[in-house]
Every structure is written in structure tokens, then in C-alpha cells.
Chains A and B, each alone.
Chain A
Amino acid sequence: MAKKTTSKAAASPAAATPKPATAHVKERDIRTQKKILTLAAEIAKRALAGREPTVRIPMRTKTNTIWNKKRGILEMGEGAVERPLFDLKTAKQFMQTMLHASTVKDLIDAGKTSSLRGVFYKAKHTVAGTKENTFDTQDESDPILEDLEVALGALREELHVFAENRGSMVGNITVIDKGDEINCRRMGSGGYAMPSIVEPDIIQFGKCEAKFVLHVEKGTVWNRFNEDRFWEKHNCILTHGAGQPPRGCRRLLQRLNQELKLPIICVLDNDPWGHYIYSVIKQGSISLAFESSRLAIPDAKFLGIRAKDYRECGLDDAVKIDLTDNDIKRAGEIAAYPWFAGHKGWQREIDGLLKNGFKMEVESLITKDISYVTETYVPQRLKAKDWLE
């Protein structure tokens, strides 16, 4: 069912026009409300009939993730687990799921949104008559909300919940955010903070001259590019996702790619983690496999840092960071992913990393020159189209 909704969600931005957003939102809210009510009513019915209440939750696990080779994305399978009330292992989670369902309903009723942390606090209280909390930490609350997303077949934003803003954007583009026009060419040193919810009803794209999007791993690297006005010189959009990019960032990149047909080019560290970030951007992640069709960018490109760069760029010995045992293990795992397994370029790349025996961060290029990465490295590679796909 996740697939259904996501395909719908993917379909709607295709008609990406700043049309009557409120009406659209209302209609969507009514749909979500109905889903919550159906879930709760079914449980109440079971309870009153003397049958054991249970929630069916599609599994967000590796085993239930399918690699759709044709589309080049990860998709969620049909597998699901029951979460019964009368089981010691799941009793509390069952209760928590119900609490979140009720919280979300309240949010939608009030027409407000809340952060993940806000939802956690709204549902957190002491269980009547005990000293036990319904939730102890936000880490307990967030996965329950994800469970609810998949159980309802509704996305986080449809539940009126958002995450912290993370990641920044500058470049030759204007976006309209809740009606406010944001000129990303005039964002100073800080950039436009990419919101958690970037659906067409919130964000529309305005004028865009950029020819591609350069996505870097971290804020520090992004600062270097921004300070050097790289986006101006190369007519692009510059983004970062503060490590593993959150949903908002990924969704925005995907929309830029899909709607504005901009290629997404990634500059990430030369280590298994960097490879993994690329993998998530490209085909989606397991825990959010149900959203892949909305988030994955199958034609994203990996520009660097490459294993060969140590030699090609003539880097100093000081940039080497030894691979840990864990890194080596991760590299092996990544090489075995179906979407990398048949890809000669990637097999060579990972092999190169392992042969090197060390990893390199993007910042390592600074040993050549402060602006080597923005003035020499990236432009050269772009020109040569020297990247992995």
C-alpha cells in the first residue's frame, strides 16, 4: 500500500503548479484522518469483540526490501509483522503506536504541524497509576512514528510531522516557500536552510538558471564552495545534507532532478560512509524504502573523492586515514549491494579504496591549496565528466 501512495505522491508533483494548495491539503488531510480512524476503529472493534487487538506494520527491514533494477530504486516488499497487544515484547509498542495515532489526529484536527520532538513530548506522560513513562526518549518515539507512517500508508508530512531543518542550499534558483520568494542567489554565507517538508504544496520552484546541482557531504565543504562563489562561476545549485542527508534534503534534490531535470553531482568523502551516502541518495534506504520513489535519484553521480585521487592529485601522505576493521567490513558489504555488485566502475572503486588501505576526506584536497577543490579538482572532473554513476 505504501507503493500506491508514493506513486500518487510522485504523480502529483508532475502537475507541479502553484494551484489552490489549501484545497489540496484539506483533501489530503481528510484522507489521512480517514486512515487513522479506520485503523483505530478496527482495533476498538476487535477489543470489544474479545479478539486480540493488533496492528499490522509493513516491515522496514533488509529482508523486506526489494531492489527494483528497472527503476533503479529500493522498494518495500509485501512483508509485514503483527504487533499484538498481548505480547510482552510488543505490548508497550502497541500502546505507543496508539498514542501517536491519537497525537497525529489531534495535529491534523488543529491544522498544525509538529516536530518529531514535539510529537514525542505530546505523547510522553506517565502511564496512569505507575511511574513508567509512555516514552522515555525521542529515540523510542521516532521509530514508532515511522511504523505509523507505513501502517497507515501515509507520509510524515501527511501526518503533519516534520524533522529538524538540516542542510543548506545556495545557487541560481528562486524557490517559493509557503508563498515567500526565496532568492537562493542572495543567501550570504549561511544559505537557505532546507526544510523538512518540501512538498509542492509548500515549496514551488521559481526561476532557475542552474544547469546542475553540486551536492557535497558536509557544511564545512559547502562553505568552501560558497565562499569561492563556485555556484556563480559554474552556474549551479550548491547543497549539503550534513552527512547522511535527511528526507527533506533528499526530496528537494529529487524534485530538482525530476522537475527541473538538473543532474545531481555528489562530492563525498572517499570512504565506505561516503559511498553509502551516495547509495542512499541514488536508490533510497531500507528504512525508508516505502518512500524511495519519492526520494531516490537513480541518475545521481559520484564525482569524488576517488581512490585514484591520492596518486592523480599528488596528495601528501598526511591526508591518509587508515581504514578501520569496521570500514573494511562495510566496504565489503557495500560492494555486495545488488546495485553495486554488477557495476564494474564501482567494484574497481571499492577495490581501490581497499587496496589503498586508507580513506580520504574532501578536505584532504586542501593540502594542495585552500581552493584546489573548487578551482581545480571539481572543474576538471566536471569538464572530463569523470564520475561514477
Chain B
Amino acid sequence: MESAVKDRNANASTKPNTTPTTKRRGATAEEMAARQKDVSVSEFFVKNRHLLGFDNARKALLTTVKEAVDNSLDACEEGGILPEIVVIIEDLDPKRQATAKSSRYRVTVVDNGPGIVRKQVENIFGRLLYGSKFHRLKMSRGQQGIGISAAGMNGLITTGRPMIIHTKPGAKQAAHHIELAMNTKTNRAEVTLDKETADFPPSRLRSLSSGTKQLASEDAYLSPSSFPTGTSVAIELEGKYQKGRGSVDEFLELTAIANPHARIVFVPPSRVASDDAEDMLPGTSAAAAQEGKSKDAKRDAPAQTSETGGVIVYPRGVQELPVETKEIQPHPKGIELGILLQMIRDYESSEKGTLYDFLQTRFCRVSSATASKFCSAIGVTSRTKASEIEPQQVEKLFKVFDEERLSPPPTDCLAPIGVRQLLAGLLKGVKAEFYAASTREAAVYRGRPFQIEAAIAFGGDLPGDQAARVIRFANRVPLLFQQSACSSFKAIEETPWRNYAMQQPRGGLPVGPLVVMIHMASVWVPFTSESKEAIADYDEIRKEMRLALMECGRKLGTYLRKRQKMRREGERRDVFERYIGEIAKALNAITGEDARKIYDALLQQARTKTAVADQELDEDGKVVADDDDSFDDDGVIVVSSAIAPIEKEAPLAAPVFLEAKSKSTKPVDTKRDAKALAPSTPKQAPSKRSAPAIITKKDLAARASEAKPTEKKPTEKKPRFDDNDPRLF
């Protein structure tokens, strides 16, 4: 750390020298000075829009939606309001050519949040790096205060149209209708229209299409009663609307998974851009886009998401807001020396207090006892002023921080999604047969608490021959790009999936019908770039992710092994039942004994011998608890209807002499069982555990008989060694 600082200083000092020594082209220092001026943040980002996620037309549209939705959710939660968010994308150039690379869209996002005070509108929407979230350690979606204003700026640059904002800060107040354009030179907003209006939410939005009209008539779409307060932001931009991976649809779908407390309505544009491979993002393909479409089509009743005249409604899954998170101070563990020095310097100038007080007020988990321990450890008293501390002592303090055992930072600053919500979200969005989730205890990186949650979905409709799909969230915001740069991706690769009966090419993602979901909740998520697409690869974070994944993986492994056993039993039964009819007939032909009686008796035996197969299939409450007690009740859901049926290949027809007899196995409950989510999912009754024991005994017997000399198998004959097989000698 120290050397790094030195290096930087060294660079700084050599820099001025380099300019004069380079070959002169006739400009004097004075002339150059005339050209040197401040660069405003806005100007910087106008030129570097890709840093903020406006790399191309398709992503620009997505980023605009994402920033607006993130802001809306944050605002609602902070205001204690259950979010109701409407996302509208209007195609403003519907007659464009099919080959057009992009089109003009208007993105409107309406929320029922607390609204914005009039005088703050310009700052929030018209300035970059202005916000409430940058200077504090609190879990929220937005961090830097770049997002929405950057989206507006992008719109302004690509279309010249200002941002249109309606905001209603109070139920009894009139709404403001403001149009503003950002002056990139000054990083300030210029208001072009400012009036009060009673029209909130804007009534125009209710009559966009037949779908919106219908929903509006049902009071399910932008009804003024649901939006007593709120904000609506409309941005026009050059963009491109496509389905598939990295699309607005995927973003909203995943947002709905991670935010089951929000109701989200999406009005997509009337026209989807033709697939254009050139503009596609890496990892996306025409097929993926296609897949997205078919998934949309499939996403019907069981997924709860509904569609009316093209309008997609992601309903609210839970009625409680996430626990309100608290702002916290940094934790002594993991803080860096430079930052500690800076904090002490800040404290000197602002408070002029003692080190003892500094430690207690500027850090979390430092009690008075701990503070005095720290003070004495570096040889100062509790009355020593912070300004009197020598840099060497700070260094020592830093070491003491590291050695001291401290309780981890408070977790009330974090609002994990929670195992049940995670499962509910996945169940809604992914059709699979097995779901598992786990939430880790909070941990710390660089003095900031964070918490990792992981969930996996396996089987069902998921494609079996592809690498697992990875869904990533940071503070409930889906991360759609730069998957391989993300810490979570590396954690998934490091997880030993083979131990959990999955395939995994060396150093790669597991292959199989698997969806892996990772959520990181933190007061400060370390993104790799301003566009917030990937989580930086801190060892602590990656380790927690891996541990969470391993927890899920173990549950999956246990399940799969059990599944396999069941399948084997099923096959056994299948084999036995297949032959029983023949045997009954043959015995009847020889002895004259009633064939049906023999058949029934043998069938009864076969059923008993393969009881395990039955047991599992009958569990319509879905297997939640396993015979080893490693499963916690909430962590796992099994949807048995999604399990490929065991006896599907050749359903046994009853033998001819048994036409009237029904012999189908007990029907499998085909509907997805919501009961599985209930916390009181019954554990397997102990009596059922005896079933595997039968098999074990049986297997032992079989093994014992194997040990005995086995009889000759009907093997192929060798031409010469025929009648009396000499190989037996």
C-alpha cells in the first residue's frame, strides 16, 4: 500500500518534466495554458458513455430502464411504500425500415414513491454525481448518483429532447410537470418547462394500447388511487428493443425475482427490432432471442406473471417491504491504512476530538472497552487528541485492528432477499424440478459488511446440454453483462459441482439443467465499472459466494442421489411388472391355477419390493426433508410434476386376461404445489424411512448371492467352442 502511494507520487513528479522534453511543435507553455481548462464530469461522461452502460443502442435502452427502475424502487422502499412500477417503452418511429440499426423510443417509468421536492428536481435529474447515496454506507440500489441523470443526458445527446418529469410529492399537492435538459458544460440542468398539473399519473399513458386501456379499466394500471404520490420520468433516446439475453424483458423478469414485494407492469413497444447479429451482445444469439420469446409465451399461469394485450404484469409476491436497512460506520477489520489516515485527518479537522472518541464514533463494533484497549495498545491514553497521533502510531493501530477479535459488523444494515423469497422468486421465473437456496451470515470486505445469498434451480424444463445459466444480483439489481468478469462467475467455476452429481468441464461452469443465482447485498457493492455490471473480485466475497453455492450444491447432490435411487427402484419395478404377466400365464398353462390370482399376488410382491419408488412419488407435499437431516425446511423445494416420469417409456398395458383391471401407479400431483412454500412443510414421517431399509436388506441379499458362484449367463457362442463351452473349464 505504502509503496503504491509512493509510486503514484513519483509519477506525478515526473509528469511535468515529460511535456517540455518532448519535441516542440511550436506551442508555448502560455498557449497551452490557454487551452487547459476544467473538464466537467458531464463532459467526461458524454465522451465516455460506454462507462455508464450506453455502449450501443440496445444497451442504452436497457440502461435507461434500469436506472429509472432502480431509482424508483429505492425511493419507494425508503419512503416505506410497496413499490408499484410501470415501465413503458413507446416506439416513436414505428414506420422505420426493418433493417434500421436503431429507432427512437420514449422510455417512461412511473412509480408510486414519495415524489421529489420541486427544488431538488434539477439536481437529481440534471447533474451527474449528485445524490443521497454516495456519502453513506447504506444498502441501496443506486450508489454514485450518476444513473438517471446520465440516462437523461444520453437521451438529450441522441435525440435533442429534454427529460420530462412529473412528480407529486404529496397526496394533496399538485404534481409538477418539468422538462429539463442538462448543460453538459456546467453539469447543471436547464429547465425548459415548469408548470403545475393535476394530471398524475399522466392520463396519456393509460390509452397507449388496447392492453393498457383494458388494464386501466380494471384499475390495474396507473390508476390515480394507487399513485397518491410518485414520480414519472420520460426519456427519449435512440435505442433498440430486442428480446433475449440482456434485454429489458430479462431485466424486468429478474428484477421481479429479486423484488417479490414490487408490482411491475411493462408495456413493451409495438414492434420488436429484427435480430441483428452485428449489434448483438456477446453470448447472445438469435436463438437466445428466440428462446426468450418462447419463454415469454410459456410464462403463463404457473409463473403467475400475466399478459394482457401485450402488457406484462409481474404481480407482487409478498406484501412486506424488505427490512429497512440502517446506515453504518465502517468496521475496523479490513479497512485500509490510507483510508484510516484519511479518516483521522478528517476527524481532526471537523471534530478535534480524542482518538478514543474517534474510534467509537467513526467505527462500528468498537465499544468503549475496545477503544481503550486500542489506545493503550499504541501507547496513548483515552485523552490523547487525534491530532497528536503520529503516522507510525496509526500504522500500529492498523495492525492492532487486524489482530483484535471483533464482532462482525451489524447486519441490520443489510436486507438479504431471504431464502423463502429467493425460492418464491425462482419458482415464479424458472420452471425446474428442484430448488435450493441458502443465505450466508454477513461477512466483511474492506470494512464493509456484505451478505451473500445463492439459489439454484435444477431439472424440469431447463436445457440439459448447456452450461448453467447464471443470474446475478447486487442489492436486488440484476446484473446482465460482463458475466465472466464477475466475482460470482469465478465462484461458480470454483465450486466443485462434480461432487454434487453435476458435470463440470475443468475450470468452467457446470453443464446441465441448472440455473445458478447469486445475490450480494452490501452497503457498498464493489463494481468493476460505473455501469455496474460485474462485482469486483475480492477474495472475501468470492469465498462467501463459493460457500453459499456449496451449501446449495450439497442439497442438490443429496437430492440427485436420492432421485437416482428412486429411479433405479422405479426401473426395478418396471422390469418386474413387465414379466409378471408372462409368468402368470405360463404357470396357468402348466398348473391350471388362476392366472389373475397369481398375477395379483406377484404384483403385490413386486410393489412391496420396490416400495421406495412409490413412496417418493406419493409425496405430493414434495420431498422437503431428507432421511439425513441435512436439509433445513425452507431451503429446498421439489416440484415433482416437473420430474420426468419414471415409467413414461412404455406404459404397461394390462395383460390380456386382466383387461378390466386398472394397474396404474398412484397419480402424480401435476400442479405446482404452493404448499411447498409454507413454512410448515411436513417432514417425512419416520415410518417411511424404513422403506429404504427394505431395499438395503434386499441389496445385501443380492450381493451375497453374487458372492456365490453365479450361474452361466446366456452369452454369445464362439463359432468353434459351441455346444460345450470350453471357456468354462
Contact = CB atoms under 8 A, between A and B. Distances in A.
Interface of A: 36-37, 40-41, 43-44, 47-48, 50, 52-53, 57, 59-64, 79, 81-83, 85-89, 91-95, 98-99, 101-102, 105-106, 127-132, 134, 139-144, 147, 243-244, 246-247, 273, 276, 280, 285-288, 330, 333, 337
B695 to A, nearest CB: 12
A181 B585 CA distance: 44
Contact of B724 (A37, A98, A287): A287
B586 interface: yes
Given A37-B591, A134-B582, A143-B714, 10 more contacts: A47-B602, A47-B605, A60-B728, A82-B705, A94-B583, A102-B586, A105-B589, A128-B581, A129-B654, A280-B724
A100 B720 CA distance: 27
13 contacts: A37-B590, A47-B587, A47-B598, A81-B705, A87-B705, A92-B575, A128-B582, A129-B651, A129-B653, A130-B652, A132-B578, A143-B712, A244-B721
A139 B717 contact: yes
A99 B582 contact: yes
A85 B579 contact: yes
A83 B714 CA distance: 14
A81 B710 contact: yes
A43 B710 contact: no
B597 A48 contact: yes
Interface of B is mostly: helix
Given A64-B709, A98-B582, A127-B578, A247 B723 contact: yes
B602 A40 contact: no
B709 A98 contact: no
Contacts of B318: none
A288 B709 contact: no
B714 A140 contact: yes
A278 B720 CA distance: 15
B656 interface: yes
B724 A44 contact: no
A128 B598 CA distance: 16
Given A37-B590, A246-B723, A85 B601 contact: no
Task: Please give me the 8 A-B residue pairs with the lowest Cβ-Cβ distance, nearest first.
Answer: A129-B653, A285-B724, A40-B590, A95-B579, A98-B586, A102-B586, A143-B714, A102-B589
Contacts of B598: 44, 47-48
Contacts of A95: 579, 582-583, 586
Interface residues of B, number: 54
A144 B589 CA distance: 19
A88 B701 CA distance: 13
A92 B579 contact: yes
Interface string B635-668: 0000000000000001111111000000000000
Contacts of B651: 129
Contacts of B590: 36-37, 40-41, 101-102, 105
B575 A139 contact: no
A50 B715 CA distance: 33
B465 interface: no
Nearest to B574: A130
A102 B590 CA distance: 6
A91 B653 contact: no
Contact of A94 (B579, B597, B606, B708): B579
Nearest to B717: A139
A244 B724 contact: yes
A98 B583 contact: yes
Contact of B725 (A48, A91, A132, A287): A287
Contacts of A43: 587
Q: For B580, B698, B726, which residue has the most chain A Cβ atoms within 10 angstroms?
A: B726
A44 B591 contact: yes
Contacts of B576: 85-86, 91
Contact of B726 (A83, A142, A276): A276
A88 B575 contact: yes
A106 B575 CA distance: 27
Given A86-B605, A129-B650, A134-B582, A98 B587 contact: yes
Nearest to B604: A50
Q: For A83, A89, A147, which residue has the most chain B Cβ atoms within 10 angstroms?
A: A89
Nearest to A105: B590
A86 B726 CA distance: 31
Contacts of A243: 720, 722
Contacts of B716: 139
